[in-house]
Every structure is written in structure tokens, then in C-alpha cells.
Amino acid sequence: MSVKRILVVDNEAKMRRILELALKNMGHHVELAADGEEALAAIERGVFDLVLTDLRMPRMDGIGLLNALGERKVEVPVIVLTAYGTIETAVTAMKLGAVDYIIRPFEMETIELAVSRVLAMQTVQRENQFLRDELSKGWDEFIGVSPSMQALYGLIRQVAPSRSSVFIVGETGTGKELVARALHRASGRKGLFVPINCAAIPAELLESELFGHAKGAFTGALSERIGKCELSSGGTIFLDEITEMPPALQAKLLRVLQEGVIERLGANASIAVDLRVIAATNRDPQEAIDAGRLRRDLYFRLNVVRVDVPLLRDRPGDVPLLAGHFLNHYARELGRRTPRLAASAMRQLEHYDWPGNVRELENLMERAVVLCRGEEISPEHLPAGIAPVADKNTPEPLPESLSDPGASLSLKTHVESLERQLIEAALKRSDNNKAGAARLLEVSERALWYKVKRYGL
Ligand SMILES: Nc1ncnc2c1ncn2[C@@H]1O[C@H](COP(=O)(O)OP(=O)(O)OP(=O)(O)O)[C@@H](O)[C@H]1O
Ligand SMILES: [Mg+2]
């Protein structure tokens, strides 16, 4: 990490000195201030990457400092030091924008960890912010800087302003809906973004959902109803899972697109609409056409621009960014501090093949935040299935030392050692749940109990 500029604010000279030494030892540039006012003056003179401040100080205290920074819109991360028993003040500080708090008395290691974590987070955030500003103005919820995502941002920017239909293809969870929303937002169209999931609505209701109906048009049509097409006029209609729309309705939709008018069911007035259609599917469109699920003529009409959303496994470099983003999000939702991802857990994430793409990663991070009681997410907080493929089914190769003429060839010794390793792995993978471990090992729970006792696990 490059040298960072850190401001230490404390009224106790001794404490300032201790912190200064520790932070200088970490290789950072340190300046000192004895209270909030001195700190503000220093911040106004120079740029700091981090402020470490005591809460209780004469003249301006830590809370006063946070308030003053907020008023001046200075966006420097602040870690507050608080005495045991004044946690409420720490909470106030967090509400005022402090990124972390440390309770006195503390170990130097705690300070070092907190400082490293905040600085690392800040670097990622700055890079992310910069790239996002550069690449994807206004679509703040897109995470990902891989070349394939950059190409996607470019394509979205390019096609958004036109009225051309867009056909989005991508496996489940890749972010198709996110793309559709981004297209709408960047289009400058004033109307609504109206999503409709063709798979989620019963076929017989889909037509009235799309086009609306007059009162009494069919049994159950108790009142007049505006369809989604009409609702989206001037905006964008997003036809998700288009291959699940019955072919007869696809034909009708095609006519509407060609003529630019709709009729509510059971009414005989036509209504002119200004439609922009975005359709999506997680199937291969050609296969869907061959199977008769997607009408070729509608496909040609919709597929003016095709957008393929990259698979997560094809852009492993984005996994850490996305993981960090979701950890932050779910920790905040639960009112918790964002846990770190242990390097071993990160490795697993980077090597996993993500059949459920970004949504699967999002779900895993949510689950991990809930399961993780401490500060660090380790492989135990991840589901068993995402362990690297290599150590899934292949047992450890036999040790090289076996070729050594003096090595023990005792079957009993080696089998026991392997058995022990497998049991340990199964227990770990099942979060120490004996029934789960027994299932993984394909032995009875009783047999497992016996062996666990025998090996003292
Ligand atoms: N690049 C990304 N950056 C941040 N979040 C993302 C990204 N891509 C997807 N997500 C998130 O992942 C989840 C799934 O995305 P979305 O619903 O757009 O996927 P989808 O392709 O429509 O999936 P499905 O085919 O299952 O409907 C959402 O919560 C979305 O916000
Ligand atoms: Mg979707």
C-alpha cells in the first residue's frame, strides 16, 4: 500500500505519541492535533486519507469534529477512539459518518487492523468510483471493471438513446434486468420503466396484463384496466422471459409493435402508444425458435440490437469487487460492521464457477454476513458446494515419502490417516453438523460418532 496521510487527534500527548509511532511504523505519514479545532485547521491546510480521533477533548470534541466535517462536506474517513462505557457516543459518531470505532484500552494490533481495513476499502471505493464515473455515468449500481463489462457499458451507452428494440440474452442472475433498467435510464425517455415477467403470469392473464381490458371483457374483468404496454408509453416496457409468452400472443404483440396502436380487450377503440421494447431471455434464442417457443418474426423485430450479458465465471476479476459490494450492502442492512473476507474464502470465490452468476454471489454474501459472528468471513461461512473443485472428490495423493525404502507401508496407519483427514474435511464443510458430515462421508451417523471419538476430533 502506498504511503497514506493520517491525522491523529487526541488531547493526551502520550496517546498521540503512541499512535504516531504505530502508524509511522506501518509506513504512513502522520500529523498530530490536540483537539477538534486544531484538527479542522490541519484538514483545511492539507488532504488526509484518514483521521483517527479521540471523542472526549476540550474545545471541539470528536463529535464536534465529525459535525464540522459533515458541514464542510469533507469526505475523509474517520475512526473514533472511545472509552469503554461510552458506546452510545460511538454510535452517535457512526451515525455522523465515522467509518469505525475502537474501544479503549486497545491493543496496537486493533488499531493497525482497523487502519489497514479502512485504507484498503477507501482505495477500492475510489477506484470503483472513478471507473464508474468514467465508464458508466449514472448507473451507479453496476459493479464490474472487467473488459467484457466495459464493453457492455459502452454498448448500453450507444444504443440507449435510440428507440431500437433491444434483445438481452444471458444466463440466470447475470444482471439482465439491471441492463434493461440502465438502458431505460440512459435513454432519456420520460415515461416509466415497466417490467413484465412473462413466466410469472399465467398465460390466460398475460394478454390483459399487456394490453388492458374493458369492464366486463371477460369473467372477472370487474373494472376497466390499463395494460402494461399503455402504461409504458413514452417509457420502456421490459418483456422478461419472452420465450414463455404463448405464441399466439407473440403474434399479437408483433402487430402492436408494427402498428404502434393497442386495443384493450373487449374495447373497440385503438390507442396510439409510443413503445420502446426491451426483451430478455436466459435461453438460447435460436434453440427457442427451433423449439417453437419464440416466433421467428417477433424475434427479428425485437433483435435489432442484441446484448449478451457476460457470465460471472468469465470475469473472475470482478468477483472481489462484487463480493465487497454485497458484503457492505448486507452488513449495512443488518446494522453490522462489514466483515473482512479471509484470503482463503476469497480464493474459493474466485475459483468457483457460479452457475447462478451475480445473484448467486449476492445470496452467498448475504448468507455469510448472517452466519459470520466475528469480523472475518472464512470458508466455513460459505456453503460446502463452493470449495475449489480440485479438493472436492479427489483424496490427497499418497505422500511421496512412500517410495522411500524406510517408509511405513502399514495399511492401517495410512488408511487411518486418510480417514481422519476426510472426516475433518467433512465436519468443516458441514459446519460441524454430524448428520451433514455423515452424509458427505456416506457413512451412518453412528459410525461417524464412533470415529470422531476414536480420533479425538
Ligand atoms: N454487474 C452487477 N453489479 C451489481 N449487481 C449486479 C450486477 N449484475 C447483477 N447484479 C445483481 O444481481 C441480482 C440479479 O440481477 P438481475 O435480476 O438483473 O439478473 P437476471 O439476469 O435478470 O436474472 P434472471 O434471469 O434470474 O431473471 C440483482 O440483485 C442485481 O442487482
Ligand atoms: Mg431477471
For residue 297, pLDDT beyond 60: yes
- Ligand of minimum distance to the alpha carbon of 172: 1
Give the contacts of 371 (CB within 8 A, at least 6 positions apart): 381
Domain extent, residue 356, equals 313-392
Closest listed residue to residue 396, CA positions, set 380, 427, 417, 378: 417
Q: Do 377 and 451 sit in the same domain of this protein?
A: no
pLDDT in tens, 309-356: 999 999 998 999 999 999 998 898 888 889 999 999 999 998 899 999
Q: How close is the Cα of 382 to the center of ligand 1, in Å?
A: 20
How many other C-beta atoms are found inside a 10 Å radius of the C-beta of residue 101?
21
Q: Give me the chain's average pLDDT, please.
A: 87
**What would the mean pLDDT of 94-102 be, rounded to a whole number?**
87
Q: Do 404 and 450 sit in the same domain of this protein?
A: yes
- Reported as a pLDDT band with limits 50, 70 and 90, residue 270 is confident
- Reported as a pLDDT band with limits 50, 70 and 90, residue 301 is very high
Q: What is the pLDDT of residue 310?
A: 96
Collapse the DSSP code of 306 into the 3-class scheme (helix H, G, I; strand E, B; otherwise coil) and give the result.
strand
CATH number at residue 234: 3.40.50.300
CATH number at residue 323: 1.10.8.60
Integer-rounded Cα radius of gyration of the chain: 30
Q: How close is the Cα of 346 to the center of ligand 2, in Å?
A: 26
170 lines ligand 1 (CB under 6 A): yes
Closest atom of ligand 1 relative to the 172 alpha carbon: 25
Do β-strands 270-272 and 193-197 pair in parallel, antiparallel, or remain unpaired?
unpaired
How many other C-beta atoms are found inside a 10 Å radius of the C-beta of residue 63?
19
Least confident range of 114-118, 120-124, 239-243, 290-294: 120-124
**What would the mean pLDDT of 227-245 be, rounded to a whole number?**
92
Higher-confidence residue of 446 and 288: namely 288
Q: Do 17 and 122 sit in the same domain of this protein?
A: yes
Question: Among 392, 411, 426, which residue terminates a domain?
Answer: 392
235 lines ligand 1 (CB under 6 A): no
Q: How close is the Cα of 381 to the center of ligand 2, in Å?
A: 27
Helix-strand-coil split of the chain, %, nearest 5 = 50, 15, 35
Q: Do 99 and 24 sit in the same domain of this protein?
A: yes
> Which amino acid, one-letter code, is at 407?
A
Q: What is the pLDDT of residue 236?
A: 93
Question: Considering its fold, how many domains does the chain have in total?
Answer: 4
69 lines ligand 1 (CB under 6 A): no
Q: What is the pLDDT of residue 138?
A: 38
Q: Do 120 and 219 sit in the same domain of this protein?
A: no
Q: Do 295 and 195 sit in the same domain of this protein?
A: yes
- For residue 426, report the phi and psi dihedrals to the nearest 5 degrees: -65, -40
Residue 158 located in a structural domain: no
Question: Among 108, 131, 154, which residue terminates a domain?
Answer: 131
362 lines ligand 1 (CB under 6 A): yes
Residue to probe by mutation, ligand 1, list 128, 174, 284, most atoms within 8 Å of CB = 174
pLDDT in tens, 202-214: 988 899 999 988 8
Q: Do 361 and 421 sit in the same domain of this protein?
A: no
As a residue count, the chain comes to: 457
Residue 154 located in a structural domain: no
310 lines ligand 1 (CB under 6 A): no
- Ligand of minimum distance to the alpha carbon of 283: 1
**What would the mean pLDDT of 427-449 be, rounded to a whole number?**
86
Q: How close is the Cα of 121 to the center of ligand 2, in Å?
A: 30
Q: Do 218 and 100 sit in the same domain of this protein?
A: no
CA–CA separation, 62 and 430 (whole Å): 45
282 lines ligand 1 (CB under 6 A): yes
376 lines ligand 1 (CB under 6 A): no
CATH number at residue 411: 1.10.10
Q: Do 81 and 19 sit in the same domain of this protein?
A: yes
Least confident range of 111-115, 126-130, 426-430: 126-130
Q: What is the pLDDT of residue 1?
A: 53
Quote the cell numbers at residue 282.
Answer: 436466459
Residue 428 located in a structural domain: yes
Residue 335 located in a structural domain: yes
Residue 140 located in a structural domain: no
Closest atom of ligand 1 relative to the 356 alpha carbon: 26
Residue to probe by mutation, ligand 1, list 139, 177, 193, most atoms within 8 Å of CB = 177
CA angle 63, 24, 51 (to 5 degrees): 15
Q: Do 21 and 114 sit in the same domain of this protein?
A: yes
For residue 437, pLDDT beyond 50: yes
Q: Do 124 and 42 sit in the same domain of this protein?
A: yes
User: Which residue owns the Cα nearest ligand 1 atom 26?
Assistant: 172
Q: How close is the Cα of 363 to the center of ligand 2, in Å?
A: 15
Q: Do 288 and 319 sit in the same domain of this protein?
A: no
User: Which residue owns the Cα nearest ligand 1 atom 16?
Assistant: 175
Closest atom of ligand 1 relative to the 325 alpha carbon: 4
Residue 401 located in a structural domain: yes
CATH number at residue 95: 3.40.50.2300
Question: Among 257, 288, 306, which residue terminates a domain?
Answer: 306
Q: How close is the Cα of 176 to the center of ligand 2, in Å?
A: 6
173 lines ligand 1 (CB under 6 A): yes
Residue to probe by mutation, ligand 1, list 136, 178, 198, 326, most atoms within 8 Å of CB = 178
Residue 186 located in a structural domain: no
Bridge partners (DSSP) of residue 202 are none
For residue 259, pLDDT beyond 80: yes
Which own/partner contact pairs does 244-248 have at CB distance under 8 Å and 24+ positions apart?
244/198, 244/199, 244/293, 245/198, 245/206, 246/203, 246/206, 247/292, 247/293, 247/295
User: Which DSSP state fits 49?
Assistant: S
For residue 399, pLDDT beyond 70: no
Higher-confidence residue of 1 and 237: namely 237
Q: How close is the Cα of 190 to the center of ligand 2, in Å?
A: 23
Closest atom of ligand 1 relative to the 141 alpha carbon: 4
CA–CA separation, 315 and 328 (whole Å): 21
Q: What is the pLDDT of residue 396?
A: 47
Higher-confidence residue of 398 and 305: namely 305
Residue 143 located in a structural domain: no
pLDDT in tens, 210-228: 998 887 878 777 777 788 9
